[in-house]
Amino acid sequence: MSNVTQPRAVNAAVVNSHHHMDFHQIQLAAPLENEVGVRIVACGICHTDLGFMTEGAILGHEGAGVVEQVGSAVKSVKPGDHVLLSYQSCGVCAECQDRHPYNCEHFSKLNFGFQRIDGTSAYPEGVQGHFFGQSAFADYCLVTEQNLVKVAPELPLNVLAPLGCGIQTGAGTVFNTLKVKPGESLMVMGTGAVGLAAIMAAKIAGAKTIIAVDREPRRLALARKLGATESINSDEENYLATLCPHLDYVIDTTGISHLDELGQDVLKEGGTLVRLAGIAGEPLTRGRKAISVIQGDSVAQDFLPKLIEYWQQGRFPLEQMITFYDFDDINRALKEANNGSAVKAVLVWE
Ligand SMILES: [Zn+2]
Ligand SMILES: [Zn+2]
């Protein structure tokens, strides 16, 4: 049987010199023996995309699609399989071998370095691909078995596409990192996709008090609908007075320093502040700790199926935060993701 892999012409959104995207036909090399070529059906937009708008880059790292080609060493998927894409890891370093791919030694290179692990690229000169091992703002991309999750063909790829980064980060922080238990209390600062995913997860975990903080009334209303027991508008002057301190956990998705301080103030002794936006703050006192987390400590192949199960049970209704756009509308989708009018933008090919 022949399994000859081929180069392929790809329609991809490439960042131009004005920080917009234009579609170009690009010739992509054939998959290497460990690579999988995926026809992209949908791709979420994550805030990390907005931070890498450099000329020549093909972004997109919440892809979902159908396997088209597989390299000769690929074991876990075959052409026709449906897959969700998540972050890239090397699979061989000590952390990867220890089942902690989110702490992969090569995480930066593989996810933000626009290259394969061996430093090569499947893309032509002047084009930067392999973003998060994907570059899924295109109708096709190359991935590896480390960053794909096979899913049942009847599942809606457009709804589930965003699970692979932002949603996994928020939900994983609650389930995998903090291991929130029934009756515990937490505050989530910022109710974008990451914060809302944390709120949905906290409700599933049985948290008694789930406080949502944001400045946007519409998002606070959505947060309450998805599981927040209280909501606080951080623009309202006396919101401090409404807070009850002594919370078990605070998850900050904003990186805003006065909110970070507020988070410290409401934590109980021994409580944990999670800084998801990467802010560097003062060390805490009274036994409280501040931690950072990558991808919600999630092994996508184990964790995404769990989130899909919750979604199927109606307990993790992420579609309520999604706005769909045609891929052709990518510039409008990026703008609306950036200004917050779309909580989670998902691009879909016609
Ligand atoms: Zn690794
Ligand atoms: Zn992301």
CA 229 to chain centre: 25
Beta bridge partners of 69: 37
CA of 102 to the centre of ligand 1 (A): 8
CA of 291 to the centre of ligand 1 (A): 21
CA of 104 to the centre of ligand 1 (A): 4
| 322 backbone dihedrals φ, ψ, rounded to 5° | -95, 140
CA of 99 to the centre of ligand 1 (A): 9
- Element (DSSP H or E) covering residue 197: helix 193-205
CA of 88 to the centre of ligand 1 (A): 9
The predicted-structure confidence for 70-122, as pLDDT tens digits, reads as follows: 999 999 999 999 999 999 999 999 999 999 999 999 999 999 999 999 999 99
**Of residues 269, 274, 268, the one with CA closest to residue 243:** 268
CA of 91 to the centre of ligand 1 (A): 5
CA of 194 to the centre of ligand 2 (A): 9
Which runs of E-coded beta strand occur in the chain?
8-15, 21-28, 35-44, 62-70, 82-85, 140-144, 148-151, 185-189, 209-214, 230-233, 247-252, 267-275, 289-291, 322-326, 344-348
Residues with CB under 5 A from ligand 2 (ion): 46, 48, 165
Q: Are 13 and 6 in contact (CB under 8 A)?
A: no
- The pairing of beta strand 230-233 with beta strand 247-252: unpaired
Residue 40, token pair as written in the block: 């992209």
Task: Kindly give the confidence (pLDDT) of every residue in the chain, 350 residues in length, as a single tens digit, with 9 standing for 90 and above.
Answer: 446 789 999 999 999 999 999 999 999 999 999 999 999 999 999 999 999 999 999 999 999 999 999 999 999 999 999 999 999 999 999 999 999 999 999 999 999 999 999 999 999 999 999 999 999 999 999 999 999 999 999 999 999 999 999 999 999 999 999 999 999 999 999 999 999 999 999 999 999 999 999 999 999 999 999 999 999 999 886 776 677 679 999 999 999 998 898 899 999 999 999 999 877 777 788 899 999 999 999 999 999 999 999 999 999 999 999 999 999 999 999 999 999 999 999 999 98
CA of 103 to the centre of ligand 1 (A): 7
CA of 86 to the centre of ligand 1 (A): 14
C-alpha distances in angstroms, 32 versus 113, 114, 152?
18, 16, 26
Domains, the chain, with CATH or none? 8-164+317-348 (3.90.180.10), 169-293 (3.40.50.720)
- Measured from the alpha carbon of residue 144, the closest ligand is 1
- Measured from the alpha carbon of residue 87, the closest ligand is 2
**Of residues 29, 145, 30, the one with CA closest to residue 77:** 145
